[in-house]
Chains A and B, each alone.
Chain A
Amino acid sequence: MTGPTFLGPALGLSAVLFSLGVAGVLLRRNAIVLFMCIELMLNAVNLTFVALAQLHGASGYIMVLFVMTVAAAEAAVGLAIILAVFRQRQSVDLQNINLLRG
């Protein structure tokens, strides 16, 4: 059992990871990298859940399992979309994908 003393560093690490993820999503143009940054954010949140579960009981662990399931599903769908986009355009650069412009 890890003691509550690790709570602060764990949350700090989680915040750092999450911010890295957000920065990646904002700054990078490659869809694969962007996708990986999203995974990073999800796992940062997972870390928060695990850390706080020590204080608030098992629901945090259960939540992590849900997040992992959703992340797996999201990975499947997201990668499929990226693959389809690549087949269509021979590129995964998001700057070129702007059909929704109003």
Chain B
Amino acid sequence: MTFIHAVWLAVALPLAGFLVNGALALWRPRAKGLVSVVGAGVLLGAFAVSLGVFLELWREPPHVPIVVRLWSWLPVERLQVDLAFQVDQLSAVMLLIVTGVGSLIHLFSVGYMKEDPGYARYFAYLNLFVVFMLVLVLGSSFPVMFIGWEGVGLCSYLLIGFWFTEKANADAGKKAFIMNRIGDFGFLVAMFFIWRTFGSLDLAYVTEHAPDMLLPGGAIVTAITLFLFLGCTGKSAQIPLYTWLPDAMAGPTPVSALIHAATMVTAGVYLVARTNVLFALAPLSSTVVAGVGALTALFAATIGLRQYDIKRVLAYSTVSQLGYMFLGVGTGAYVAGVFHLATHAFFKALLFLGSGSVIHAMHHAYHATHSHDDAQDMRNMGGLRRYLPWTFGLMVIATLAIAGIPPFSGFFSKDEILAAAFARGGDIPVYYLFYAMGVVAALLTAFYMARLMAMTFLGANRTGEKERAHLHEAPWIMTGPLVVLGVLSLAGGALNLPHFVGGHAALERWLEPVMEPGTKLTRLVMPEGSTEYLLVGAAVAIGVLGLVLGFRATLRRPILPARQAPADTGFGLVLNRKYYVDELYDAVVVRPFAWLSRVVLWKGVDQGLVDGVGVNGAAWVSRLAGGGLRLLQTGQVGIYVVLFLVGALWILRAVIR
């Protein structure tokens, strides 16, 4: 039991990397070689530790989580919170995903960010992000998780606004941070409720005692879970707090891959899976989770149909896929949710890094000719498969995975979620609706991915005559991680191969001790036999249909470069403008709030009450009193003596009496 008790090393190594790279960013920003070695090296070290932890667990799977206590953090009477890490099957899986995908993205970044002046600062932030993400997945109590929860939000803010000299990027960072704060409020309130109810904030304690201490379907557990889910909607970009994620694409592309696709945004799914017993005790909350997930999956997928920025398509795709995960965990198929989390981490990281490779090439081409065209607009791409053959091939794998084509990884995880939603429909009919929404979303997913691939890689090149000569494949340090992710996207389904293809549902059995408290209560019976085959067949048919339709619709007529393209009209414009949700939020929330702040709080309360009555009022009273009392100070000793005498006599009188 050596690696498990040294699990803190997985956190400490990136933390050391952050400190070293932070110091280098301040004093030696040009030491890029050292930064690369430290930045990527600590991640590989953390991955090695994670692998060791995983193998030890594999040898002896524990039935209760192993808690590694570091020190006492908040000893306040009955509230005893230790800074402790919880090692069990679920946190081991998350450890591997975070450090594994994280390592690949760090390596990719070495090539992608090579020429950036903020290279050291970038790696410092990226290392810090991994620290907080690991604290989040390892925390053994809600407050420790909350450290990570807040910390990843901070790093997300720092990295979205990484190129902060442009106001739009800084604004995107702020938007992400503020939206997340709204969700964090939910997490905090949920913690207060849990403390009131359980008298403890320990995950293990809450999991063990929840079935005895809470009334199933009662008001308390429903409130706790709904507030927790509010936190999830913020962090994992679900309706109504999803609008920050597409804007978060303002950050460097590897950041989008790591934080805004593979790891941080899945924290909400992890939280629901981690507290599965609470959600299982609150069927209403679970239905809300599944409903919001299904709605988000469908809603975001429709927006993805009409975006031109390659990263924005992927961003809405991420929102949509996160919706799937919530549909899974809301249905009670916690393992399916985590499974999709894992496969999504592989294929979405691959898609983002692939798009990064494309943007890298486009950016270099435009940079060489001093053109100001948009390097991320897919209308300026086309035919890139000839120039970026590796990227093309690997992105095809990811596309097939996300579209749900067997035997690629996404097929298995998505199918499992949809099958679970269908099965739940037998008890609660509204889940049939969620299932239908999921199926339509799957069709749209395949469609917009086909559109993305067709616009980017197929057809004639639209980059420009002069620029074409400068298009080239990325260096091996960037394509290498892509290849690894490609293999994972291809074979990731093997993690949890279902029985109907002769698998043993390995992930499901592996996670059973963690999910058992919840699954025991939900008692979800997965479809078998002909129903199962029918569902699988439908899912595959939908995926293939979406891909075919997507390719045909996109390649039917020639695409014009962004400068010459006609503006969207009709419903296409509504989709392109994201249903005007940002404008709606601006009108309903932001503007009234700004008005309230400016007119009431600033002019009224601050300038009127605090400055006027409080500060200036106090000064006015003092000045008036001083002006009056000043007259007593004549400088004549005689007057002082008289006053002194009067005072002495007055005191004397008081004493005698």
Give A contacts to B, CB under 8 Å. Answer: 22, 25-26, 29, 34, 94-95, 97-102
| Bound Cα distance from A34 to B629, whole angstroms | 27
Query: A99 to chain B: which residues have CB within 8 Å?
Result: 635
Per the CB 8 Å criterion, the residue count for chain B at the interface is 13
Q: How far is the CB of B499 from chain A (nearest CB, A)?
A: 97
Query: A95 to chain B: which residues have CB within 8 Å?
Result: 636
Q: Which of B250-258, B411-419, B637-645 contacts A (4 or more CB under 8 A)?
A: B637-645
Report if B2 contacts A (CB, 8 A).
Answer: no
Answer whether A22 and B645 are a contact pair too, CB < 8 Å, given A94-B636, A95-B636.
yes
Q: Which residue of A lies closest to B638 (CB)?
A: A26
| Bound Cα distance from A46 to B633, whole angstroms | 32
Contact indicator A102/B633 (Cβ below 8 Å)? yes
Q: Which residue of B lies closest to A28 (CB)?
A: B638
Most buried by B among A25, A34, A102: A102
Give B contacts to A, CB under 8 Å. Answer: 629-638, 641-642, 645
Q: Which residue of B lies closest to A98 (CB)?
A: B635
Contact indicator B632/A102 (Cβ below 8 Å)? yes
Contact indicator A26/B637 (Cβ below 8 Å)? no
Q: Which of B629, B631, B633, B638 contacts A100 (CB 8 A)?
A: B633
Contact indicator B637/A94 (Cβ below 8 Å)? yes
Q: Which of A26, A29, A34, A101 contacts B635 (CB 8 A)?
A: A101
Contact indicator B631/A102 (Cβ below 8 Å)? yes
| Bound Cα distance from A34 to B641, whole angstroms | 11
Query: B645 to chain A: which residues have CB within 8 Å?
Result: 22, 26
| Bound Cα distance from A100 to B642, whole angstroms | 16
Q: How far is the CB of B161 from chain A (nearest CB, A)?
A: 57
Query: B638 to chain A: which residues have CB within 8 Å?
Result: 26, 29, 94
Q: How far is the CB of A31 from chain B (nearest CB, A)?
A: 9
A-B contact pairs, 8 of them (CB 8 A): A25-B641, A94-B637, A97-B637, A98-B636, A100-B635, A101-B633, A101-B634, A102-B629
| Bound Cα distance from A100 to B634, whole angstroms | 7
| Bound Cα distance from A97 to B636, whole angstroms | 7
The 4 A-B residue pairs with the shortest CB-CB distance, nearest first, are A98-B635, A102-B633, A101-B635, A102-B630
Q: A97-B637, A98-B636, A100-B633 known; 6 other A-B pairs, CB under 8 Å?
A: A94-B638, A95-B636, A101-B634, A101-B635, A102-B632, A102-B635
| Bound Cα distance from A5 to B501, whole angstroms | 127
Query: A25 to chain B: which residues have CB within 8 Å?
Result: 641
Query: B630 to chain A: which residues have CB within 8 Å?
Result: 102
Q: Which residue of B lies closest to A38 (CB)?
A: B641
Query: A100 to chain B: which residues have CB within 8 Å?
Result: 633, 635
Query: B633 to chain A: which residues have CB within 8 Å?
Result: 100-102
Q: How far is the CB of A44 from chain B (nearest CB, A)?
A: 14
Answer whether A26 and B631 are a contact pair too, CB < 8 Å, given A94-B636, A95-B636, A98-B636.
no
Query: B629 to chain A: which residues have CB within 8 Å?
Result: 102
Q: Which of B632, B634, B641 contacts A26 (CB 8 A)?
A: B641
